[in-house]
Structure 1
Amino acid sequence: MNMSVKPTVKCYHCGEECINETIQLADKNFCCQGCKTVYQVLNQSDLCDYYELNQNPGTSQRISVRKDKFSFLDDEKIEQQLISFRNTEQTHITFYLPQIHCSSCLWLLENLHRLNAAVISSRVNFTRKEVAIVFDHRSTSLRSVAELLTSIGYEPYISLQNLQQAKPRIQRSLIYQLGVAGFCFANIMLMSFPEYLGLEEAEKSMQSLFRYFNLILAIPVFLYSSLPFYQSAWGSLKHKYLNIDAPIALAIIMTFGRSLYEVLSNTGGGYFDSMSGIVFFMLVGRVLQEKTYQQLSFERDYTSYFPIAVTVLKDKKEIPTALPDIKAGDTILLHNEELIPVDGLLTKGKAFIDYSFVTGESLPVLKEMGELLYAGGKQTGGNIEMLVMKEVSQSYLTRLWNNGEKAKPEKISFVDGLSRYFTWIVFALAAIGALYWSFYDGGKAWNVVTTILIVACPCALLLSNSFTNGNVLRILSKNKLYLRNAQTIEEMAKAIHLVFDKTGTLTTTEEQEIAYTGEPFNDEIAGSVAAVAAQSTHPLSKLLAKELRTNETYEVRQFSETTGRGISGIVNHRIITLGSAEFVTGEEVTVFNGSSVYVSVDGILFGHFCIRNHYRPSIFQQIGELRKQYRISILSGDNESERLKLQQELGMDVKLFFNQQPHDKLNYIKQLQEKGQKVIMIGDGLNDAGALKQSDAGIAVTESTNNFTPASDGILEADRLSRLSSYLLFTKANKQVVIASFVLSIVYNIIGLTFALQGILSPLVAAILMPSSSISIILLTFGASSLYARFLRLN
């Protein structure tokens, strides 16, 4: 094609290229009326400092928000379910704003009161992309607040899930327990210095006072901070097995009991420092793991994707109605870019339904009046009306989601397996030691049991596992791979088969490759073709209009569109025809590598455009590296048009499956697991939900971690997919580091138990050795995992 390149003009608000038009205001360029309007709103309120904090901080406003989109917030029933607090003067509400991305966003959102005086305060949680707003409901409404946010480019995302009972996002009690343990541990250590240094007779009164202070400080650690270990140990006993927390809980109880006896009988200072140290370090390990992924949502159901309300047509009136109240027989109105929430019949309008999120098919499907529309599709054209056939809970999307909701059997960590043997051995040695010394020297029996439980406490093993896993989770999250929990690390390390979804995973949904074959275009013909293509709402026409844009404006006359076949129009007295080979040439042509659009001018065929999926950078090189260690399969909901290209790029040993429906993907994972293979599924959409849940480790790929992804074990930002081989190597190293630390822990325990069983190790020395060994092992594991991460260039 011979076309001049249009100069690039960036939008002052969002920074995107001005494609179709350039709007100017006050010597500033805007890509659309929406961006210009946001600038005007901020300028009128003297809030243009927003643009000085970051360059082009806004988000594109090309897709305008319809005026009455938030009318459902006028419904008092819906409003009551969304707000978190209300009194006679103010209302508190928290909105999720996926557009938040920089300090300019934070500054603007925390200055909402300058745009609307009825807003009392607004606080942004940057990591969660949420804003908590307090407003005076006597002067404004919830709907007005939502529309205010929308007017400045921060449209709230409100889904059906917002009406459900919110789940606690963080175990605040764990934080409080850690704080109490840390405070008490530090002060007990401080007041134990007289015991460590040895006091003269003249200072014995102060020594006694400090012992009682330590006892008072140890009580909240024993009764409150240690609760997680008691609860875990009791839970395991109820299921008739001993987990790793059982000896820890017993060691805490025994140490506190022995210390209490010594203080009250004035025979010693006890070991409150050791007890509080055990609890503090164990809680630090747990919190470290929790903090890594607490801000992400790995558990989602279909309500995360559904709108909170839709427009129902009754007596020629548009009535916003909450989704749970939609009944079979209702007629609903759907607008452009709205999700279809129920199964129903199309009764009015032309539907171009994007089912990519459900089926994986990348191109929208044309639906005519009278055809059935399934929940989960998105309307990409004008307004349509549909007759509801099934309620939300009975829709295809709900059944599809529930198909993947069968719980996987609970995985048991190899550390838990080791700890069970460890626990029984410790209890057996304590019993043997107590029995032996009760015959030979009854006074030593109590000391032997106490020192065995303190020295052989499996804290070193559990701490090394917790800190190593926590460090691995932290490093992976820093590299944009967020894992649900530490168990996922082990499952990924054991995998031998990787299954990739194609559309949206290997390919990006934001770009397409367009190749032209035929007689070159000059500027006039290119502009004419673009003008005709711009008249159609078909996705392929939109792509061509964008690709062929020129500086000139062309008028299109006598435009016509034959649904599902092609379009035509007259531009500058030339008849331009675009569409399928049969529509343009009268002959049917089979395409093996993408979708094709043929072009003729005045009945003469010029050539055709081949439109293919755009594969992510370096993805074929990455799969080539993974093939050396893993079996690879690729599943796609698309047709087989790209089989030849993929087979050439990936090799014949990579298994390719096309036209895969969601249940096909799920069944394929099951078949692999029945053969004894550990499987990692990497997908992106709801069509992968069942397979992601079924796999041993399911990783959802997303363009942004704040996009709504299906339930998964991990969330990976799309631009980091090319680092997958490094991430998998890192998970394998994690197990080796933990095993090495366990071996070192066993060496510590053998040495300590040798002296403890002989009755020559005092509880005080044991209390000093226990935290020393734990800290050294923590440093070893933390350092080893960090060093290997640096070797893999993950730091």
Structure 2
Amino acid sequence: MKNKVCFHCGNECETDTIVLDEKFFCCNGCKTVYEIFSANDLTCYYDLQNAPGAAPSEIQGKYDFLEQEAIIAKLLEFHEEQHQVVQLYIPHIHCSSCIWVLENLHKLHSGISSSQVNFPKKTVRIGFNTEEISLKEVVLLLSSIGYEPYISLEDYEVGSKKVDRSLIYKLGVAGFAYGNVMFLSFPEYFEVNEFWLDQYKVVFRWLMFFFSVPVVGYAGVDYFTTAYKGLRNKILSIDVPIALGILVLFIRSTYEILFDKGTGFFDSLTGLVFFLLLGKFFQRKTYNFLSFERDYKSYFPIAVTKIHKDGSEENIQIYDVVQGDRLLIRNHELIPVDGIVINGNAQIDYSFVTGEAHPVRKKSGDKIFAGGKQLEGTIEMEVLHSVSQSYLTQLWSNDVFQKDKRSTFTTLNDKIGKNFTIAVLTIAFVAGSFWLWYNSGKALNVVTAVLIIACPCAIALAAPFTLGNLLRILGKRKFYLKNATVIEQLATIDSVIFDKTGTLTTPSENQITYQGTELSAAETQLLKNTLRSSNHPLSRMVYAYLPHSEKLTLTNFQEHIGKGISASHQGMNITVGAASFVGASEEKDLLETAIHISINEQYAGKFVVKNAYRTHIKEVFTALEKHCELAVVSGDNEGEKNYLSTLLPEKTTFLFHQKPADKLAYVAELQKAGKKVLMIGDGLNDAGALAQSNVGIAISENINVFSPACDAILDATKFEQINTYLQVAKKAIQIIKYCFILSLCYNVIGLYFAVTGQLTPVIAAILMPLSSISIVLFTTIATNILGTKIK
């Protein structure tokens, strides 16, 4: 009697005694996993794929080493109070059902707060509460459901460094089979009738069959798997016509040799799979060449303030930070590395990492982790190890705190390719039906040729290669985008909003004068240290203007976004900010940009700032006006409205006295009217507006103000290129459309010869990867030419 198949993992059951809910299991481990899923309402896991699980291995005592604190500390990405984050390499991740169950671990244990799968790297990043579950228990839970992690104890590294060579192996199998099948087909090609028919015809044909089996069952299995999963989820993927073409060729060829009707199409079949895999191999190599999976390590535009031994401060690139450096972290700055608090009152917000907005207080000597944000004044820290840029990039892209704008945006690829597969299948069916009636001998060839020649691989490649290469080019031009979708969103922009202070103005060239009672040395020292803790552009300007003074540790510091700062030291209280915030008369502040000061609740005076606007600001606005509505929104007063009105285009909208909530509301109002809004700010008071906008760009002045709300970061020195970047995005979409037109022309011509029965499947299989290669070459050359237009 044939053995039953395990419902969980698909292996054959050596016994039929392990049964639950009328389902058979190969071992108690698989049965336990099923029970866990059933108890937690996760049995829909089995709807994603038949027998998607893995048989749990015996792991009793295997992970006892995870009870040692020294080892745990090496493995963890983050550890603060009861919250820990770990990234584990899971070799068994192989399909959509794996992703589904691993991202639903919180349903299996309440102590797990989050889990996110990186499918290409086969890793899962898990956040958990140590009061409810330990790292060891997390690993045991993963193992119990068939996803045992790989952990190397020799170097404490998580994950395997092995390179996935499966595509090379499959390409080798397909190439070997294709060559041999072609060789065995020579007697048929040259019509060697006597030798062929009398002695070795059957042997050669069955040899071709056996060579074709591993091609269909191994080399080409990915096409069947992808097509099947898509159909199970009611999605017609581009692999459906390919899988149908392979299947039709194999079945027809097998039928012909079984009933001695002919030699079949094994040469076409093996050639098709070989050329398909060759095209995929070329695609993968090109992706690597274009650095589509971008690494921000070499150019991420965030700096940090390093404190030298003589007490001087210097802004350095974040990837230049090394172990032992002493860093200054200001109010609302991101902590870029793990380190030890040296001085200051540390109140750390780890919501970027954990999703939980519960600030944690740290004292001198305590460890703090990368990804936290300092909320109260300045702190000094000593670096424990170099920065991990990939970690900061994860934070930038983390959906815990960033609304995913892509979920409401339909890409060009989705719009054009949505019904492509349906059209191909319809043409194949109609053409096949006609030829079945007109000349049944050609019907199968026609259907197969149509399915192959109309493969939408070229269309599928156009957008990823164009946008991927452009991401790399823009990065080199100091314009850093979060993802490729941002380029498509930039191309739709018809309304641009600018913040004023720190965006249109440049702090390095502003002129500052003081008006008021003379400040004592102690008052100046307190003011200097108060401003030292802030990252607001005006604060940084006045801080640089004041004379050098000794460092103070403030006993109280609070920054009120959009209003000002309050601080105290040894009984002296100071308030700095807008006139209304410090208690000054509003009339004094109508026609000027100023920072007002109140000491011990007595108004002292103000620093008047004469703004210096960025060079080429007029040219930027004039260029943008041709295709966008423009607006300037600012938290400042109308003091420079008259000047800006003469400098900027007549139709520019000016809004002053705008609080952060007002900026957000204005963006939402424009969007409600159907506008596609680009918000450009400094990432401080503009976070809400940046997040609300269709695209948010943060201007970087080489200061460590990390703004996860933005979709792009622009180096301030490239301000005059804003319109150029928008035009480049629009032209990138044109390049994609040209690729679609080229692909459409190729498909129309190819379909004509296929439908009329003039195109054999093997020729179609050769032409298809050539089409893909031509599209890749076209997009690469076109985007590189486009990149040369950016200064």
- TM-score computed with the length of structure 1 as normaliser: 0.55
Instruction: Mark the runs of 5 or more structure 1 residues left unpaired by the alignment.
Output: 1-83, 98-129, 133-162, 310-317, 339-374, 384-400, 520-524, 553-562, 568-577, 599-604
Shift of 1:609: 5.3
Matched, 1:765 2:770: no
Match of 1:93 in 2: 74
2:166 to 180, 192, 216: 180
Unaligned runs of 5+ in 2: 1-64, 79-84, 88-111, 124-160, 258-262, 302-331, 339-345, 367-371, 381-398, 532-537, 551-563, 569-575, 598-603
After superposition, residues 324-723 of structure 1 pair within 5 angstroms as 378-380=375-377, 405=403, 410-507=408-505, 511=508, 513-516=510-513, 533-536=524-527, 537-539=529-531, 546-547=544-545, 549=547, 589-590=588-589, 592-595=591-594, 610-612=608-610, 615-616=613-614, 618-685=616-683, 687-703=685-701, 708-723=706-721
Task: Tell me which amino acid in the other structure corresponds to 2:121.
Answer: R
Counterpart secondary structure, 2:503? helix
- The structural deviation recorded for 1:379 is 3.5
CA contact (8 A) 1:225 1:279 kept: no
Question: Post-superposition shift, 1:732?
Answer: 0.9
Aligned residue for 2:510, secondary structure, equals: strand
**Alpha-carbon distance change, 405 to 85 in structure 1, aligned in 2, over 3 angstroms:** same
Counterpart of 2:242 in structure 1 is: 251
Correspondence for 2:749: 751
Amino acid at match of 2:750: G
CA contact (8 A) 1:263 1:269 kept: no
Aligned runs of 1:719-734 on 2, under 5 Å?
719-734=717-732
Q: Distance in 2 between matches of 1:634 and 1:503?
A: 10
CA distance in 1, matches of 2:665, 2:578: 35
Tell me the SS of whatever aligns to 1:171. Answer: coil
State the shift of 1:765 in Å: 1.2
In the superposition, relative to structure 1, how do residues 217 and 445 fare at CA in structure 2: closer, same or farther (>3 Å)? closer
Deviates more, 1:671-680 or 1:192-201: 192-201
Q: Partners of 1:720 and 1:94 in 2: how far apart?
A: 40
Tell me if structure 1 keeps the 8 A contact 2:491–2:726.
yes
> CA separation of 1:207/1:511 partners in 2, compared to 1, >3 Å: closer, same or farther?
farther
Query: What is the root-mean-square deviation of aligned Cα atoms in Å?
Result: 5.7
Question: How far does residue 436 in structure 1 lie from its aligned partner after superposition?
Answer: 0.9
* Match runs of 1:220-259 below 5 Å: 220-224=218-222, 227-228=225-226, 230-232=228-230, 234-237=232-235, 242=236, 245-246=237-238, 248-259=239-250
Question: How far does residue 417 in structure 1 lie from its aligned partner after superposition?
Answer: 2.5
Q: Secondary structure at the match of 2:696?
A: strand
Q: How far has the Cα of 1:448 moved from its partner?
A: 1.0
Partners of 2:378 and 2:347 in 1: CA distance: 22
Shift of 1:506: 3.4
The change in CA–CA distance for 1:751 and 1:320 in structure 2 (over 3 A counts) is closer
Partner of 2:175: 189
- CA, structure 1 residues 403+333, in 2 after alignment: closer, same or farther (shift >3 Å)? closer
What letter matches 1:379 in structure 2? E
The aligned amino acid for 2:776 is I
Contact kept in structure 1, 2:489 and 2:694, CA below 8 Å: yes
CA distance, structure 1, for counterparts of residue 741 and residue 723 of structure 2: 28
How many angstroms apart in 1 are the aligned matches of 2:539 and 2:216? 73
Q: 1:191 to 1:546 in 2, by over 3 A?
A: same
1:171 matches 2:120: yes
Mapped to 2, the partners of 1:220 and 1:411 lie a distance apart of 37
CA contact (8 A) 2:348 2:373 kept: no
CA distance in 1, matches of 2:688, 2:463: 31
The CA distance in 1 between the partners of 2:268 and 2:114, in whole Å, is 47
The structural deviation recorded for 1:791 is: 3.2
**Deviation at 1:743?**
1.7
1: CA distance, partners of 2:493 / 2:66 = 47
Relative to 1, partners in 2 of residues 1:85 and 1:701: Cα closer, same or farther, differing over 3 Å?
farther
Is 1:433–1:448's contact at 8 Å kept on the other side of the alignment? yes
Q: CA offsets per residue over residues 373-423 of structure 1, 9 Å max, x none?
A: xx999433899xxxxxxxxxxxxxxxxx99985967622223323223433
Q: How does 1:41-52 map to 2 (within 5 A)?
A: none
Distance in 2 between the 1:694 and 1:784 partners? 33
The answer (yes or no) to whether the contact 2:334–2:704 under 8 Å persists in 1 is no
Which secondary structure does the structure 1 equivalent of 2:788 belong to?
A: helix
Q: Distance in 1 between matches of 2:767 and 2:539?
A: 74
Partners of 2:664 and 2:682 in 1: CA distance: 14
Q: 1:453 Cα deviation (Å)? A: 0.6
| 1:738 maps to which of 733, 736, 739 | 736
Can you list the C-alpha shifts for 1:343-368, whole angstroms capped at 9, x where unaligned?
A: xxxxxxxxxxxxxxxxxxxxxxxxxx
Contact 1:404-1:694 at 8 Å conserved across structures = no
Distance 2:520 2:498 in 1: 37
Aligned residues of 1:177 and 1:224 also touching (Cα < 8 A): no
Q: Is the contact between residue 580 and residue 597 of structure 1 (CA under 8 Å) also seen in structure 2?
A: yes
**SS of residue in 2 equivalent to 1:711:** coil
Residues 692/293 of structure 1: CA separation in 2 closer, same or farther (3 Å cut): farther
**Cα offset for 1:450?**
0.6
Structure 1: distance between partners of 2:233 and 2:706? 35
Which of the residues 195, 214, 219 maps onto 1:216? 214
Contact preservation (8 Å) 1:263, 1:270: no
**Secondary structure of 1:258 counterpart:** helix
Q: Bigger CA drift: 272-281 or 442-451?
A: 272-281
Q: State the alpha-carbon separation in 2 of the partners of residues 529 and 595 from structure 1.
A: 20
Change (3 A) 1:566 1:451: closer
Task: Give the Cα–Cα distance (whole angstroms) in 1 for the partners of residues 587 and 710 of structure 2.
Answer: 43
- Cα gap change, 1:564 to 1:173, in 2 (>3 Å): closer
- Pair 548,469 (structure 1): closer, same or farther in 2 beyond 3 Å: closer
2-structure distance, mates of 1:597, 1:722: 32
Contact 1:699 1:714 in 2 (8 A): yes
Amino acid corresponding to residue 650 of structure 1 in structure 2: L
Alignment check: 8 A CA contact 1:444 1:759 kept: yes
Query: Counterpart amino acid of 2:214?
Result: I
The offset of 1:623, in angstroms, is 3.3
2:787 aligned residue: 789
Post-superposition Cα deviations, 1:615-656, rounded to whole Å, max 9, x if no partner, equal: 555445433432333221122233334434433432432212
Deviations 1:647-698 (A, max 9, x none): 3432432212222233322222222223222222223436434433332223
Give, as a single letter, the amino acid of the residue that structure 2 aligns with 1:756.
A
Query: Following TM superposition, by how much is the alpha carbon of 1:763 offset from its aligned partner in structure 2, in angstroms?
Result: 0.9
Shift of 1:445: 1.3
Provide the rounded CA distance (Å) in 1 between the counterparts of 2:539 and 2:668.
40
Contact 1:426 1:456 survives alignment (8 Å): yes
State the TM-score, normalized to the length of structure 2. 0.55
The match for 1:271 among 269, 272, 277 is 269
